[in-house]
Amino acid sequence: MKIAVLASGSGTILDAMVGCGIDVSLVLVDRPCKAEGLSIDHGIALSSCYRRDFSRSFDRVGYTNDVLFELVANGIELIAMAGYGTILEEPIHERYAGRILNTHPSLLPAFAGWHAVSEALKYGVRVTGCTVHLATLAVDAGPILAQEAIEVNYGDDESSLHERIKKVERRLYPQTVAAYNDYLDTNFGGSFFEYQKMIHDANSLGKTREKR
């Protein structure tokens, strides 16, 4: 199954995935970043789909369609978000429903959003963690695939806590991606088109029931 990793930063998750034996077919980035160099080092195809506009008038749907074009053109069947800095819109979730994985530095549904680590410290929780989930249009709200708890130590600051979370993330995320990939292979024979037909049929059935 052809897997794409979407990244915006250092590429440590990408490196961990490759190190775990995951066959990454494409790395797509939304800005210049170290992940580009890692993709070249590992001999992985690279798509530099740079976001040029960071204003409030940013055409998020248009940009999402640009990303979607690159993914479809490369025959991608499964997507792993790896610190990707741009929230994508509905078109990609329609095309890849149930095929986009993401990781988050908290035990969702607690502390969703961009400031999960600092908020965990602010609220004084003694345990936080890492969550791997399916990405949906609603941010950090998709079905949870895996979680691991991490104790918050006395004296932790955002940097020290986040680093321990990242250490778990670099192990848990590749394991979950590999397991989910195996699940899709087993249940759908690796056929993206068969999977999409199932999703379409389920959605159609749901709409028929609503009309009744």
Question: Distances from the Cα of 189 to the Cαs of 12, 145, 149, in angstroms?
Answer: 30, 20, 33
Taking the C-alpha atoms of residue 144 and residue 135, their distance in angstroms, rounded to an integer, is: 9
Identify the helix (H) or strand (E) that includes residue 127. strand 127-134
Six-digit token string for 190: 């690796």
Residues 97, 86 contacting (CB under 8 angstroms): no
Amino acid at 199: I
14 forms beta bridges with none
Residues 109, 39 contacting (CB under 8 angstroms): no
Indicate left, alpha or beta for 83 from its phi (over 0: left) and psi (-120 to 50: alpha): left
Question: Taking Cα atoms as reference points, which of 101, 70, 121, 114 lies closest to residue 172?
Answer: 101
Positions annotated as catalytic residues are 104
